[in-house]
Amino acid sequence: MRKDTSKPRVLAIANQKGGVGKTTTAINLGTALASIGERVLAIDLDPQGNASTGLGVPKSIEARTPSTLEVLLGEATIAQAEQPTTIERMHVVPANIDLMAVERDPNTRQSRNFALRDALQAHAVACERDERDTPTYVLIDCPPSLNVLTLNALCAADAVIVPLQCEFFALEGLSLLVDTIEQVRDHLNPNLTVQGVILTMHDGRQVLTQQVEEDVRAFLGKKVYSNTIPRNVTISEAPSHGLPVLVYDMHCKGSQAYIAVAKELIRRERGLEAA
């Protein structure tokens, strides 16, 4: 059978603010997309390695080698580093703590920013040569900072998904990220866009959530997903079992919210919903 080697859609999941739901979104949006037939490659670009853990990769360095680090250094291909997950059609390139070496590397050549982009391009070429399916979506889980790792994601990506927690100062943090995305677009990756902003840990009963949501929607308009992810305890329990919440408890509110967000993402990608 002719393999599908069309170019994947590469989405960076980024916000320099910590703990806003980047990793949870990478894992569960990826799982939801895979469950509706997409071929998903998650790239763990955070030395914390939480996306790898949440997708069931054991924590030892051996189980996580080769990792994103070797891919960035050109010592392993994506095909060599990727691992299957318990989810059909979803793979992960795991990360381990050694990835911190990249952040600390004093070498600041600009070409370093393109390591992930080049690895993904090489992967596409290799898939075509070997007649293997390419992923349809690549989701990159970024660390909570605007460092060289996040820059690699922004240079490799077609678009950025921003998980945003409705709390005080959310908008200030967002403008810094938007400035960075604009600078990357001006100097490094002219086609980069913001795919959308997803409101996470949303609690509609809280006045603060309502006010921040109102401000964010007024500021960013249709960039903000109409579906939101509620604060849901099952979402926070699932990673300790090495499972996406969608596998851990498909019927909980958090799972259903991620399915709704995945469907909205597909509609946005197809241009059926104004973005």
Q: List CB contacts of 37: < 8 A, sequence separation 6 or more.
A: 89
The least distance separating ligand ATP from the CB of residue 30, rounded to whole angstroms, comes to 12
Q: Is 50 in the site for ligand ATP (CB under 6 A)?
A: yes
| 19 forms part of the interface with ligand ATP (CB under 6 A) | yes
23 binds ligand ATP (CB under 6 A): yes
Applying CB under 6 A, does 213 fall inside the site for ligand ATP? Answer: no
Cβ distance to Mg ion smaller for residue 17 or 123: 17
* Tokens representing residue 35 in the block: 């469950």
The nearest distance, CB 68 to ligand ATP, in angstroms, is: 14
Q: Which two tokens stand for residue 252?
A: 């909980």
Of positions 22, 117, 202, 223, contacts Mg ion by CB under 5 A: 22
123 scored as a contact of ligand ATP (CB under 6 A): no
In our burial notation (b when 16+ CB lie closer than 10 A, e otherwise), range 2-39 reads eeebeebbbbbbbbbbeebbbbbbbbbbbbbbbbeebb
Query: What minimum distance in Å lies between the beta carbon of 204 and ligand ATP?
Result: 13
Does residue 23 belong to the site contacting Mg ion (CB under 5 A)?
A: yes
Residues 6 or more apart whose CB falls under 8 angstroms from that of 79 comprise 123, 126, 127, 132
Q: Report which secondary-structure segment, H or E, holds 154.
A: helix 148-156
Number of residues that this document lists for the chain: 275
Q: Does 20 bind ligand ATP (CB under 6 A)?
A: yes
For ligand ATP, the closer of residues 76 and 170 by Cβ is 170
- Which residues face 140 on adjacent strands? 12, 43
Binding interface with Mg ion (CB under 5 A): 22-23, 50
Where do contacts with ligand ATP occur on this chain (CB under 6 A)? 18-24, 46, 48, 50, 144, 200-201, 229, 231-232, 235-236, 239, 254
